[in-house]
């Protein structure tokens, strides 16, 4: 198990032959259009995590963009709506196909209202994630070892979480509904970028 930090882009051919990668991002804040995308972290579920510290002057990361848009590789997120919108806004790509463990949790774990990554990971795979570095400076020129470890932890367990949630969704007969939600998720992110972030266009009012 190791964490790798890459400047600007992923190395060539890093995720060849995999069918799913876990993806997360770190930004300077949570507001689209104001806060820049700084770091993207990825894991193939093999215990390793690869962090890309982006060049915010250009966002020129062709290997990362190719991975995010590869139709043969599912990208697993937790609350993918935000990450997908950030990638669309800053990297100029629409990520897909996608899977969101937060959506899956809300559809499967209806006995609780605790669907944050920390709660879901603790229940599904027995791992207690630390959130100590969540609000640190991700735009710094040099990331600390604690920041790298924190960012990695957000993707290292998503494959296992997905497997557990998939079993629950199938048991409850909601797997088809979940897949439909995942297919719509990039469109929901595009609506956020286009200005409908706070609006529910399906609401009556």
Instruction: Give residues with Cβ within 8 angstroms of 122, minimum separation 6.
Output: 128, 129
pLDDT digits (tens, 9 = 90+) for 160-199: 999 999 999 999 999 999 999 999 999 999 999 999 999 9
pLDDT (tens digit per residue) in 6-30: 999 999 999 999 999 999 999 999 9
**Residue found by looking up tokens 């790509």 in the block:** 93
Residue 9 included in any domain? yes
12 is a domain residue: yes
Rounded mean pLDDT, 105-119: 97
Domain annotation covers residue 128: yes
Residue with the two structure tokens 């848009």: 69
Q: How many domains does the chain have?
A: 1
Mean pLDDT value across residues 122-134: 85
Q: Give the Cβ contact number of residue 140 at 10 Å.
A: 11
Q: What is the CATH classification number for the domain harbouring 68? A: 3.30.420.10
- Residues 66-92: tens digit of each pLDDT: 999 999 999 999 999 999 999 999 999
Mean pLDDT along residues 143-159: 96
Expressed as residue numbers, the domain containing 77 is 3-196
User: pLDDT category, 146, cuts 50, 70, 90?
Assistant: very high
Within a domain: 205: no
| 130 pLDDT more than 80 | no
- Determine, yes or no, domain membership for 204: no
Percentage of the residues of the chain whose pLDDT score is greater than 70: 98
Q: How far from the centroid of its chain's Cα atoms is residue 31's Cα?
A: 16
The reply to whether 202 falls in a domain is no
Other CB atoms closer than 10 Å to residue 57's CB: what's the count? 6
């Amino acid at each position: 198990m190791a964490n790798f930090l890459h400047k600007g882009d992923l190395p060539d051919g890093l995720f060849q032959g995999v069918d799913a990668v876990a993806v997360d991002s770190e930004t300077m804040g949570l507001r689209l259009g104001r806060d820049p995308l700084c770091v993207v972290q990825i894991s193939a579920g093999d215990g390793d995590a690869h962090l890309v510290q982006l060049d915010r002057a250009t966002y020129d990361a062709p290997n990362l963009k190719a991975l995010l848009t590869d139709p043969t590789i599912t990208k697993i997120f937790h609350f993918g709506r935000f990450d997908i919108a950030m990638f669309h806004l800053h990297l100029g790509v629409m990520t897909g196909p996608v899977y969101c463990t937060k959506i899956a949790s809300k559809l499967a774990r209806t006995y609780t209202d605790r669907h944050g990554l920390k709660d879901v990971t603790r229940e599904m795979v027995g791992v207690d994630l630390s959130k100590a570095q969540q609000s640190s400076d991700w735009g710094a020129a040099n990331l600390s070892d604690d920041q790298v470890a924190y960012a990695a932890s957000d993707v290292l367990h998503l494959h296992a979480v997905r497997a557990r949630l998939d079993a629950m969704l199938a048991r409850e007969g909601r797997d088809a509904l979940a897949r439909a939600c995942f297919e719509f998720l990039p469109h929901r992110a595009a609506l956020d970028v286009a200005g409908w972030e706070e609006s529910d266009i399906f609401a009556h009012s």
